[in-house]
Structure 1
Amino acid sequence: SGKCFTHADREDILGFLKALRERGLSAPTIARCMTAIRGFVRFAVAQGVLAADPTFNLQISPGRHALPTFLSMEEVCQLLNISKGMGPVAERDDAMIELLYATGMRVSELVTLEQLALNLELGYLIATGKGSKQRVIPMGEVALAKVKGYLERARPHLLGTARSGLLFLTRQGRGVTRQAFWRLLRRHAKAAGIHRPIWPHAIRHSFATHLLAGGADLRIVQSLLGHADISTTQVYTHIERGHLKHLHRTLHPRG
Structure 2
Amino acid sequence: MSIEMDESLEQFIRYIQLERNFSIHTVKEYQHDLHDFLTFCKCEGISDLNEVEYLHARLYVTKLYDEKKARTSISRKISSIRSFFRFLNREYQLDDAPFSSLYHPKKEKKLPHFFYEEELLKLFEANVGDDLKSIRNMALLELLYASGIRVSECISIELGDIDLNYSILRVMGKGRKERIVPFGHFAQDALIRYVDEARPKMMKNKTHNRLFVNLRGSELTAGGVRYILNEMIENASLKTKIYPHMLRHTFATHLLNNGADLRTVQELLGHANLSSTQVYTHVTKEHLRRTYMNAHPRA
Structures share a fold, TM > 0.5?
A: yes
Name 2:69's counterpart in structure 1: 25
CA contact (8 A) 1:92 1:154 kept: yes
Name 1:249's counterpart in structure 2: 293
Shift of 1:126: 0.8
What does the per-residue CA deviation read over 1:127-184, in whole Å, with 9 as the maximum and x for residues that have no partner?
A: 1222332211111011111111222222222234432322223333322222222112
Which of 83, 98, 108 is matched with 1:64 structurally? 108
User: Matches of 1:100 and 1:206 in 2, distance apart?
Assistant: 10
- TM-score, normalization by structure 1: 0.85
Name 1:144's counterpart in structure 2: 188
Shift of 1:6: 4.3
CA contact (8 A) 2:74 2:105 kept: no
Counterpart code for 1:97: L
Gaps of 5+ in 2: 1-40
Mean Cα deviation higher: 177-186 or 91-100: 177-186
Gaps of 5+ in 1: none
Name 1:198's counterpart in structure 2: 242
Q: Does 1:226 align with 2:270?
A: yes
Counterpart code for 2:207: R
Q: Structure 1 residues 3, 251: closer, same or farther in 2, change over 3 A? A: farther
Q: CA RMSD in A?
A: 2.6
Mean Cα deviation higher: 84-93 or 207-216: 84-93
CA contact (8 A) 1:45 1:53 kept: no
Name 1:120's counterpart in structure 2: 164
- Tell me the matched-pair count: 253
Matches within 5 A, 1:95-106: 95-106=139-150
Q: Does 1:153 align with 2:197?
A: yes
CA contact (8 A) 2:85 2:94 kept: no
Q: Structure 1 residues 12, 153: closer, same or farther in 2, change over 3 A? A: closer
Q: Structure 1 residues 210, 16: closer, same or farther in 2, change over 3 A? A: same
Three-state SS of the structure 2 residue aligned to 1:249 is: helix
CA contact (8 A) 1:28 1:65 kept: no
Counterpart code for 1:226: G
Q: Which has the higher contact order (CA 8 A, sep 6+)?
A: 1
How high is the sequence identity, in percent, across the aligned residues?
A: 34
More helix by share: 2
Q: Structure 1 residues 58, 71: closer, same or farther in 2, change over 3 A? A: same
User: Matches of 1:45 and 1:165 in 2, distance apart?
Assistant: 42
Name 1:8's counterpart in structure 2: 53
CA contact (8 A) 1:6 1:49 kept: no
- TM-score, normalization by structure 2: 0.74
User: Matches of 1:166 and 1:41 in 2, distance apart?
Assistant: 37
What does the per-residue CA deviation read over 1:219-250, in whole Å, with 9 as the maximum and x for residues that have no partner?
A: 21121112222222222222222222222322
Name 2:121's counterpart in structure 1: 77
CA contact (8 A) 2:52 2:98 kept: no
User: Matches of 1:61 and 1:8 in 2, distance apart?
Assistant: 20
Q: Structure 1 residues 61, 210: closer, same or farther in 2, change over 3 A? A: same
Name 1:173's counterpart in structure 2: 217
Q: Structure 1 residues 48, 147: closer, same or farther in 2, change over 3 A? A: closer
Matches within 5 A, 1:18-57: 18-42=62-86, 47-50=92-95, 53=97
Q: Structure 1 residues 152, 249: closer, same or farther in 2, change over 3 A? A: same
Shift of 1:49: 3.9
CA contact (8 A) 1:114 1:165 kept: yes
User: Matches of 1:116 and 1:138 in 2, distance apart?
Assistant: 15
What does the per-residue CA deviation read over 1:71-113, in whole Å, with 9 as the maximum and x for residues that have no partner?
A: 1111111111223433222111111111111011112222221
Name 2:32's counterpart in structure 1: none
Q: Structure 1 residues 36, 169: closer, same or farther in 2, change over 3 A? A: closer
Three-state SS of the structure 2 residue aligned to 1:224 is: helix
User: Matches of 1:165 and 1:48 in 2, distance apart?
Assistant: 45
Which of 131, 134, 150 is matched with 2:178 structurally? 134
CA contact (8 A) 1:91 1:150 kept: yes
